[in-house]
Every structure is written in C-alpha cells, then in structure tokens.
A = this chain, B = another copy of it.
Amino acid sequence: MTIENISQAKVFGGWHKQYTHTSIRLNCDMRFAIFLPPNASKAQPAPVLYWLSGLTCTDENFMQKAGAFRKAAELGVAIVAPDTSPRGGDVADDDGYDLGQGAGFYLNATQEPWSRHYHMYDYVTEELPALIEANFPVSTVKSISGHSMGGHGALTIGLKNPNAYRSISAFSPISNPMQCPWGQKAFNAYLGSDFEAWKEYDASELLKQAQARLPILVDQGEADGFLVEQLKPEALIAAAKAHDSEVQVRMQPGYDHSYYFISSFIDDHLEFHAAYLNQ
C-alpha cells in the first residue's frame, strides 16, 4: 500500500497534503487529501474526520473552501477527503454530472459497466482508513461527515457501521435517494431494479432499521435550490421520529447549497464530532 505525496502546504500550524495511490478495490489510481493538525505524532495520534464531497467534486473542494482548518487545528482533529468516484480513462462514465465519474454515490455497484470500478463504499469504509492509519500519525478513532451526495454517503456509511464511527454529520444530504431523481438515476444504474438493494443505501430507510444509535447532526439551508426535489430532509426527520432516534436536523434560513453555507457552520460540526472523537 504505497502512497505518493503530490502537494503539501502548511496551514494553521498543521499540514494539508495530497497523495495518489493505486486502489485495489476501485481498480484505478486515486487521489486523496489529508489535513494533519499541529503536533499530531505516532505518540499522540489524531482522531480522523472523514469528509465525503458532493456531485462533481474532488478531494479539493472541501479542503479549499470549507474554512475548516482553524477549528480542526484547535481541536486536534485530522480530516481526510477522498475523491467522489473512481477516476481514469478506462473507468466507465456518463455524460451527466450526476452519474459516473464525480458521482460514485458511496456504494458498491453491482451492474455492468459500473461494477468493475465503482466500489466507493468499500473504499471509504475499508481500504482508505487502512491506508490512512498505516501512513499517518492518526488513531483508529473516526467520525464521518459530508455534503449533498456526500451527506448521503456519511449518513448511510455511519448508520451501517456504528462500531466504526463515533458520530455522523451532514450538510444538505440526499436524505431519501430512493425518492428523488438523483438517487433513482444512480441506483438504477449502479444497483439495477432491486428495491431491496436500494434500501441498503438510503439513509431514511436505514434509520428505520438502525440498531445502534450514533449521534447525528444535519444542517440544511432553507434557500437550497435542491431542497424540495432532491434532498428531502423531512423523510429523515420522519424516520427518526418513528424510530425514536436522536437526529438533530437544523433548518438554516436563507442559506443555499454552496460552500459558503458549509463554511458558516463547519465549526459547529467539528465541535460536535470532537466531543465524541476526543472522549
């Protein structure tokens, strides 16, 4: 499991670094980024917040635009941002921005032509953490967060792996992908027509069945243009209520779907996660 450093910049006394590596599970070369807080060392390893980005993004959007490092440095939390899909000339793709490269939906595809590379669920839950923990001064203590498609990824991965993560948060997540155009298009392509398979990657469905209960924080802008058709936080809220789960969904008046919104509340999310990561 070799990784190659391709950039590094000091930031808030810590480091932002980008790496490439050959992913076994995705069967292609991948890039990821890591923020290491000041003073992280093998003797004092930092816990890790995994950040999953939205449609069309790479490892760079969050790292450049979220304004997360001041607070993460203060809290001693590392942040890892993977890419949003397998990448490369021989990786299946689609003309739409919402399917194929840049739109992996953090699942394991079962349908041709996607099943050769599109195993982002395994990559995020297994291969990437193993790589991170082998190569950096971090502990195995993890939480997970993300935006939009990545909010869907954070919620579904966290709900399916309650022993692997301490806490879950999301900005503007696709909360009920089985019932929205983005999710239906992606699930049809990647998973075929078996609705039982779809339920395994739908946060509102998973929340109904969840046994263990991780703390969950969701922020959603009320001026988000995707709110009604694509994001459907009301399904998540209903599932939480029916199941008596504690999911804190905060509707934020006037905020949209952009990183300006994320930057406004990322400190809250970092403090939320740190309370569990640093326990």
A interface, CB within 8 angstroms of B: 9-13, 16, 64-65, 67, 69-70, 221, 223, 254-256, 258-261, 263-264, 267
| Beta-carbon contact of B67 and A254 below 8 Å | no
Considering the complex, give the chain B residue whose CB is closest to the CB of A257: B9
Considering the complex, give the chain B residue whose CB is closest to the CB of A262: B11
Residues of B within 8 A of A16 (CB): 260
| Beta-carbon contact of B263 and A10 below 8 Å | no
A11-B264, A70-B264 known, 6 other contacts, Cβ within 8 Å: A9-B256, A9-B261, A10-B264, A16-B260, A69-B260, A70-B263
Residues of B within 8 A of A259 (CB): 64
Residues of B within 8 A of A255 (CB): 9-10
Among all A-B residue pairs, the 5 with the closest Cβ atoms: A67-B67, A11-B260, A9-B260, A10-B254, A12-B264
Q: List 29 A-B contacts (CB under 8 A).
A: A9-B256, A9-B258, A9-B260, A10-B221, A10-B223, A10-B254, A10-B255, A10-B256, A10-B260, A10-B261, A10-B264, A11-B260, A11-B261, A11-B263, A11-B264, A12-B264, A13-B264, A16-B260, A64-B65, A64-B259, A67-B69, A67-B70, A67-B263, A69-B260, A69-B263, A69-B264, A70-B263, A70-B264, A70-B267
Considering the complex, give the chain B residue whose CB is closest to the CB of A9: B260
